[in-house]
Each structure stands twice: as structure tokens, then as C-alpha cells.
Amino acid sequence: MNEPHSLAVVVAHPDDDAYGCAGSIALHENDPGFRFCLVLATDGGAGQIAAGIPTTSHELGAWRRRESANAWRAHGRIPDRHEWLDYADGQVAEVDFEELVGRILAVLLEERPQVVATFGPDGITGHRDHIAVGKATDEAFHRARQTPGPGLRRLVHGAMRASTFERWNLRRQRQGLAPWDPTVEYHLRPVPDEWIDIEVDTRQVAHRVVAGLLEHKSQRDVLVDPGMDERRWARMASRESTVMAWPGRPPGSPVLTDLFEGL
């Protein structure tokens, strides 16, 4: 008998989880037994505060926790488990690596999800918190697999296609904005198109991805270019690309179209 589909998303900040896998979660929400576990390393308390948001730097972390809950309610599929590791935003790379691995490992052993999604070595934006969380999650995944049991069938890294990156950068330049520079921390980092192993068509649920993103009001200046309307945002959320970190996709085999395809 096949295992029910289950997914653990392990990321650094509230809003890191609002794209990349949110469409896939919406697509699978009605699968029998589907389970979604979300692990956030920090509350994002060192993030920016958009104009007009009635919070302070001291209270931002608590504000962003509420935004995270609101975002998943707006999306329509609340996590079955929402775990906060409570590390300081911007300082995850300074946490003892064995401690960080151990805390993520404990969740993975309790949940034993089929698929674990996190950041790759580039952190998508080069953010040091992203890189630290991704590295620790990779290690926790491989250690968890050493304990016999169900799940833990696939490890994926969120990624941006180089062709998408180039298209977005051209648009930024046409709008008079500085292009993303992959050598600068916090700027997007693409991977070659041929590295993409899974690409999910999320057009039918893109409006739900956007609904969740819109609840991260304090971070809107980080999440979206000035003047972005919801229609264009939905187009940007119309596909989700990932690299299969484990096991690798066999050479020459087709790109998968679903996180759970073949499991």
C-alpha cells in the first residue's frame, strides 16, 4: 500500500515558505492522508518594515508570526504542524551546527515525511540564514534515513531557473530598477535550467499562493518589485522549480512534474 503524501518544508523565515512549495501544497491538499509540516528557524524579527505597517523593530518578530498564520489561512491549507525553532533572525549561521541539525532531525524522525524541501547551497538569495538552514536540513535528512522507517524518500532544494532570472532582470531594468546581482547577499541566485529536476505547473492555484504572500505585509518591499499587481504576481507563481538533492534524477530522464511523482 502506498504511503500517504507528506511534506516537510524547512526554511529560515516567515515568507520563505510562502512560495516555492505553496502551490504544490494546494494541489495536494485533498489527497487522502496528506500531511504538511512547516519548520521555521526564526521569526524574521530583523526583517524590514514596510511603510504603513504599525509595528516596531522590537515587536516585528511577533508581528511576523501572526503574518505567517494569516498567510496560511489565506492560502487555505494550514500546516498540520507549525514548528518554530526560535533562533535569532540573521544569526542562524552562528548557531552550533550539531544543535541545529539535531533539532531538525528530531522533527524529521517524528514526522518521517515523504518529501523534505529546503534551500540549496545558494540559499536562493545567498542569505546566510537560508544557507545555514539548508545545510543543516540536508544533514538531518541523511541522518534520519539511517533510522529504518517510512518516508524520507526525496530531498529537494528550491531553485530559480537561469532563464527566469534573466527574464526578471530584463524587466527590472526596463522599469529603471537595478538588476539582481548574484554575487550580492539578499539578491536572487539562479541555477542553470538543466539542473531543474521537478517543475510543477501551479497556474490553477497561483491565486492562492498570492493570497498567502499578500499577508506578509511587513515584507512587501522585499517580496515584490514596486508597482507589481496581483495578476502579474500570479503569473510569477504559476510554476515551482526544484532540484532533487537526493536521490538524483537519472541522467537523460524527463523533468518531473510533481513533488511526489514516482514515489
Q: Summarize pLDDT for 108-162 with one digit per residue, the tens.
A: 999 999 999 999 999 999 999 999 999 999 999 999 999 999 999 999 999 999 9
Local confidence band at 230 (pLDDT 50, 70, 90 cut-offs): confident
The β-bridge partners of 200 are 240
Q: Is the per-residue pLDDT at 254 higher than 70?
A: yes
Average pLDDT score over residue span 239-257: 96
What is d(CA 169, CA 112) in angstroms, rounded to the nearest whole number? 39
Of 228, 232, 226, the closest CA to residue 51 belongs to 226
Over residues 62-98, the pLDDT tens digits come to 999 999 999 999 999 999 999 999 999 999 999 999 9
Average pLDDT score over residue span 45-60: 96
The whole-number pLDDT of residue 222 equals 84
Treating both helix axes as pointing N-terminal to C-terminal, what angle do 128-144 and 97-111 enclose, rounded to 10 degrees?
50
Q: Mean pLDDT across the chain, nearest whole number?
A: 95
Burial label, 24 (beta-carbon count in 10 A; 0-12, 13-18, 19+) = buried
Q: Which residues of 40-53 are buried (b: 16+ CB within 10 A; e: fewer)?
A: bbbbbbebebeeee
Grid cell for residue 255: 523533468
Local confidence band at 223 (pLDDT 50, 70, 90 cut-offs): confident
Higher pLDDT, 64 or 1: 64
What is d(CA 108, CA 177) in angstroms, rounded to the nearest whole number? 41
Type of residue numbered 29:
E
Question: What 3-state class would DSSP assign to 235?
Answer: helix
Of 233, 236, 224, 216, the closest CA to residue 47 belongs to 216
CB 19 within 8 A of CB 130: no
Q: Is the per-residue pLDDT at 9 higher than 80?
A: yes
CB 150 within 8 A of CB 112: yes
CB 80 within 8 A of CB 6: no
Q: Is the per-residue pLDDT at 226 higher than 80?
A: no
The whole-number pLDDT of residue 1 equals 53
The whole-number pLDDT of residue 236 equals 86
The whole-number pLDDT of residue 229 equals 81
Local confidence band at 3 (pLDDT 50, 70, 90 cut-offs): confident
